């Protein structure tokens, strides 16, 4: 597990300058900071490096010369720095979005907790973090329309569309490849690598099936079971999926404390005392999490005759990868319009075929 997070900048007058660190008691020498700076300077480009300095194992992300920030994650000797690369990219972007008046400084403790959990995230959380990222979401949305785009064109398009200036396309592409959402390949005759959409994301609210089947078997007094099913049905009668709503729920999925509460509520209908036990798992502010779940219409509170309160999940969330069959129509339309070169579309069909066959093979092996 990581032991600390440091935000550093290079100052021509004083050299390396620590702007924020967490926890406060961590010590890192100027010599070590200079080694980090020098290693990044060797390439001069944004990206992550890892290095061992004495007993320190460091993963460091450089935002590039335009902004010039260094985000250092201090690790234990047996930690794998590469496992934190996606988390450091995510952390860097949040810091750069909160530079004004040093607003990022207050975020450093929560950012440290967020990046620390990165290697242990499950598939649901990883996909949620992926889609929450506005750059990745922009790329996915464009590829949903076109299927394939050249890397050079994508870079120009992103710089034009993304006004916050910081776009680490290489890092973003690596993360999307890791999530099996895109594939990067070269095609003979094309001047730039091509980015293909290979899997899309499906996300929507769904009923809490296990609870809905028999609320009383999951902790709700039997006299309140009908109330639970009524409330759940009422929500879904009016529910219409939207990106805005998806992003609100994703905010909960990527919050470690909220996700811990959600995990419990998916399996049982509980009292406040049950929820308080989650403090042992790092959920420090139960009330704040419950407020967020309530405001996003994910939970309902039921009271029995003795005024005991029961917290129940009335709408859960599903996010997963799906094979994008609709892209065959996109490819056909692009062929008809001659908007993409034939060799690009042929390669795309091959890529999709391989993706589909691998998906079938993986499904069979699970069975």
**Measured between alpha carbons, how far is 202 from 70 in angstroms, rounded to an integer?**
35
Residue 130 shares a structural domain with residue 192 = yes
Domain boundary among 119, 142, 169: 119
User: What is the percent of the chain where pLDDT is above 70?
Assistant: 98
Residue with tokens 């890791």: 178
Residue 9 shares a structural domain with residue 52 = yes
- Report if residue 30 sits inside a domain: yes
Residue 111 shares a structural domain with residue 134 = no
Q: How confident is the model at residue 79 (pLDDT cuts 50, 70, 90)?
A: very high
Residue 151 shares a structural domain with residue 178 = yes
Residue 162: per-residue pLDDT? 75
Residue 4: per-residue pLDDT? 95
Question: Residue 44 pLDDT > 80, yes or no?
Answer: no
Residue 45 shares a structural domain with residue 109 = yes
Maximal CA-CA distance, the chain: 75
**Measured between alpha carbons, how far is 58 from 56 in angstroms, rounded to an integer?**
6
Answering whether pTM is above 0.75, one says yes
CATH label of the domain that carries residue 129:
1.10.10
What's the chain's Rg over C-alpha atoms? 24
Each residue of 99-119: pLDDT tens digit?
888 899 999 998 998 899 899
At residue 97's C-alpha, the angle toward residues 4 and 108, to 5°, is: 20
Read off the pLDDT of each residue in 75-97 and give the average, rounded to a whole number. Answer: 91
Calculate the average pLDDT of the chain: 92
CATH label of the domain that carries residue 13:
3.30.450.50
- Report if residue 219 sits inside a domain: yes
Residue 56 shares a structural domain with residue 151 = no
- Report if residue 35 sits inside a domain: yes
Residue 15 shares a structural domain with residue 94 = yes
Read off the pLDDT of each residue in 279-298 and give the average, rounded to a whole number. Answer: 93
Domains held by the chain: number: 3
Residue 240 shares a structural domain with residue 167 = no
Residue 165: per-residue pLDDT? 60
Residue 99: per-residue pLDDT? 87
Angle between helical axes of 151-161 and 169-178 (0-180°, round to 10) = 110
- Residue (of 148, 155, 234, 219) closest to 185 by Cα position: 148
Task: State the distance between the two ends of the chain, measured CA to CA, in whole angstroms.
Answer: 34
Question: Residue 242 pLDDT > 90, yes or no?
Answer: yes
Residue 40 shares a structural domain with residue 51 = yes
Task: Name the CA dihedral angle for 242, 244, 246, 252, rounded to a multiple of 10 degrees.
Answer: -160
- Residue (of 289, 329, 330, 331) closest to 311 by Cα position: 289
Question: Residue 214 pLDDT > 90, yes or no?
Answer: yes
- Report if residue 326 sits inside a domain: no
Residue 191 shares a structural domain with residue 209 = no
Residue 163: per-residue pLDDT? 66
CATH label of the domain that carries residue 207:
1.10.10.10
CB atoms within 10 A of CB 80: 12
Looking at the DSSP bridge assignments, the partners of residue 183 are 196
Residue 206 shares a structural domain with residue 186 = no
Each residue of 128-155: pLDDT tens digit?
999 999 899 999 999 999 999 999 999 9
- Report if residue 324 sits inside a domain: no
225 CB contacts (<8 Å, ≥6 apart)? 214, 215, 216
151 CB contacts (<8 Å, ≥6 apart)? 169, 173, 184, 192, 193, 194, 195
Domain residues for 173?
Answer: 125-199+337-366
């Amino acid at each position: 597990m990581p032991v600390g997070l440091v935000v550093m900048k290079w100052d021509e007058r004083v050299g390396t300058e620590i702007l924020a660190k967490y926890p406060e008691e961590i010590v890192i020498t100027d010599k070590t900071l200079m080694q980090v700076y020098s290693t990044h300077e060797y390439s001069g480009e944004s990206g992550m490096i890892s290095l061992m300095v004495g007993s320190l194992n460091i993963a460091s992300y450089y935002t590039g010369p335009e902004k010039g920030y260094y985000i250092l994650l201090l690790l234990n000797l047996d930690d794998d720095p590469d496992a934190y690369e996606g988390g450091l990219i995510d952390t860097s972007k949040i810091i750069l979005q909160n530079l004004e008046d040093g607003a990022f400084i207050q975020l450093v403790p929560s950012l440290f907790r967020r990046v620390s959990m990165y290697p242990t995230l499950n598939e649901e959380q990883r996909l949620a973090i992926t889609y929450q990222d506005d750059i990745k979401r922009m790329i996915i949305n464009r590829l949903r329309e076109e299927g394939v785009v050249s890397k050079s064109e994508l870079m120009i398009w992103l710089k034009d569309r993304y006004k916050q200036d910081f776009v680490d396309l290489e890092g973003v592409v690596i993360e999307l490849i890791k999530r099996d959402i895109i594939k990067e390949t070269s095609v003979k005759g094309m001047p730039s690598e091509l980015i293909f959409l290979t899997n899309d994301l499906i996300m929507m609210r769904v009923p809490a099936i296990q609870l809905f089947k028999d609320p009383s078997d999951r902790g709700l007094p039997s006299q309140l079971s009908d109330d639970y099913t009524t409330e759940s049905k009422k929500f879904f009668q009016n529910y219409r999926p939207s990106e805005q709503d998806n992003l609100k729920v994703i905010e909960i999925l990527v919050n470690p404390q909220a996700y811990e509460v959600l995990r419990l509520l998916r399996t049982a209908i509980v009292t406040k005392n049950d929820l308080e036990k989650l403090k042992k798992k790092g959920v420090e502010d139960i009330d704040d999490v419950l407020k967020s779940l309530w405001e996003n219409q994910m939970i309902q509170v039921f009271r029995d005759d003795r005024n005991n309160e029961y917290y129940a999940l009335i709408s859960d969330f599903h996010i997963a990868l799906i094979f994008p069959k609709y892209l065959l129509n996109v490819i056909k339309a692009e062929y008809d319009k001659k908007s993409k070169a034939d060799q690009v579309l042929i390669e795309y069909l091959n890529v999709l075929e391989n993706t589909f066959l691998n998906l079938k093979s993986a499904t069979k092996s699970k069975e």
